[in-house]
Amino acid sequence: MIYLCTHFYDTLRMKKQDPDLLDNAVLSGFVSMKYLPRWIVLSMDVILSIIAFLIAVYVAGKIKIEPSASVSLNQIQRMIVLVSFQVVLFGLFHTYSGVLRYASFVDVTKIFFAIVLNVFVIGLINLVMTSLSKGVLIFYTELIVYGVLSFLFLLLIRLIVKTAYDYFTQRGDYITPVMIYGTKSAAIGIAKMLMSEQVGSKYKLVGFIDDDKNASEKMIMGVKVYHLNDDTLKKIIVKKCKSIIISPVKLNQVNTSNVLEKFIDNNLTILSLPPMNIWKNDIPSIGEIRSIPIGNLLERPQINISTDNIASQLKDKVVLVTGAAGSIGSEIALQVLKYDTKLVVLLDHAESQMHDLKLDLQEKYEDKNVTVFLGDVRNRDRMEYMMDLYRPDIIYHAAAYKHVPMMEDYPVESVQVNVLGTKILADLAVKYRVERFVMVSTDKAVNPTNVMGASKRIAEIYVQSLFRKLHATMNGTTTKFITTRFGNVLGSSGSVIPYFKKQIEHGGPVTVTHPEIIRYFMTIPEACMLVMEAGSMGNGGEIYIFDMGKPVKIVDLARKMIRLAGFVPEEDIKIVFTGLRPGEKLFEELLNKKEYTQNTHHPKIMIANVQQYDYDKVSVLIDKLINYSKLCKDYLTVATMKKIVPEFKSKNSQYERLDI
């Protein structure tokens, strides 16, 4: 009680200094108190027990049910005996150990048995003393009235504390009302966590949402279940809560529907939690963008690929992954390590990232035969040493420069890595009889408007024309060169998702180049599975493209990310349009006008029938291009690229003058 009075006195002193601070001070102080010390709880229980006894003495004196009974102790002595024994029983049952604001049926049961046992033992002593003609220790009327009143008082104080705490903490900014989407075991587990001590002051569960109409208006854990439809969403759900929590299991089920869109459009924050087996004491903050996997922002179902063909192809093979420290290369490496390979060689020139990758592999893949090789794909001697040392059977070529604005400033570097690096590895693949060479390309290679896209298109042209020439002259016994072409990858280094995320964390603004710019997106695992599936099905010379669904408007993606972070676009965080960057176009294509597709055994993967090039002619131009890049001749380099790829028309770039 002294503790509480001291806290109240401090708030009154604040009132004198600034009257407007009193309410906030009381609330913040009340919320910040995790629990009362045990001695305070025990002291309150003892005081209430004494009050109950005094009232019991008064009541017994008024009704005088036991006029003939004699008592061996005076009133003070009776109180000391009764309350002292009660304290002992409080200790045995740990009635003061529970947190008052989370008092439960178990706590009430402990209090009940502690008081009943006290009354029972004293009553038993009374019987013994009566049989010995010693009178009674305490009047039976006092004992019964005490038992009833003390139980009610102790129960009442806990209800008062619990109600007061709920009232003060569930106001304003102190708590977020949430609903849980789903009613299965995972949803129930989340609900239990929400009601636990660790998170009880952050979130208030106000209901469950279910797709089943029959579940509507039923109760789970004391809150209603609402059937999800447009009417319920707008009239009830939006008014009752600010956030929707979706379990990972449920999130996979709704990924193909427009349910997330409906929640976001109604300014509801969506939280997705880690799997229950790793979610211990913490809940992700509503400001964490990671709370929703970025793949759920795609307006299409996730692509699933059978791994049987990949497994049989990689069994007992030496696999080389270039660009292994990058977003795509590292994911390909992780995918490859799932299979029964003979050796996995990971190549990159980024020293720090390769060092981290090596340490990670040593820790997680001790049972795998995997090695890292530090080297640059532009260095032919280094690449030949590696090829001769490891003799790979399959190459996944992901090493590339990919950032459009950067490559627009440094076209010779783009050619050196994307064209020369690919040419060196392709030529060595033929020399060392590699079975398959799978190249990672991009949708920016289609009707390119920038140096990066054009360099990747030239790399495509080289490996395709090389395969056709060797296939015709070597009776089909040469390396199978296969190309995969896909759009932007969500979450990769330098991509828009982590860029927007960082801007949102800093309070904005979020910068978008143009209000109408759109892009195709896929997740990193999808991209890498596509590469590996293409490598398993290809016969050589193909360019595989991916059915990526509908393109996503970048400004819509930005708005979704802002809402998912718990903010309102344009109110909390502004969106600013900065203009198209050099080489950037409003929309990307997977095919140009001269190309068409043919189906494969996978409904989401197609083969692009592209324009064919004569190797003997195009290789002369490519060698000239590489020489210009070695001489650091930017304009001659870009001009030669445009000669090799006539559809390459620069946009918003200094090289537009070459198209005149």
Which residues lie below 8 Å from residue 652, measured CB to CB, with a gap of 6+?
580, 581, 582, 583, 584
Reply yes or no on whether 444 is catalytic.
yes
Half-sphere exposure of 306 (CA within 13 A, CB side): 9
Region for 64 from its dihedrals, namely left if φ exceeds 0, alpha if ψ lies in -120 to 50, beta otherwise: left
For residue 267, the Cα-to-chain-centroid distance in whole angstroms is 19
HEC sequence for 632-644: CCHHHHHHHHHHH
Order of strands, edge to edge, in the sheet holding 219-220? 219-220, 223-227, 203-210, 176-181, 243-246, 269-272
CA distance 286 to 271: 6
| Three-class DSSP category at 321 | strand
Tokens 């004293």 correspond to what residue?
Answer: 122
Q: Which residue has the tokens 């019991």?
A: 56
Nearest to 63 by CA among 142, 148, 172, 10: 142
Tell which residue, 151, 149, 119, 123, has the closest CA to residue 137: 123
* Of 204, 242, 444, 585, catalytic: 444
How many whole angstroms separate alpha carbon 122 and alpha carbon 116?
10
Q: Which amino acid is at 460?
A: E
Question: Phi-psi category of 595—alpha, beta or left, where left has phi over 0 and alpha has psi -120 to 50?
Answer: beta
Angle at 492 between CA 491 and CA 495, to 5 degrees: 80
Residues with catalytic roles: 444
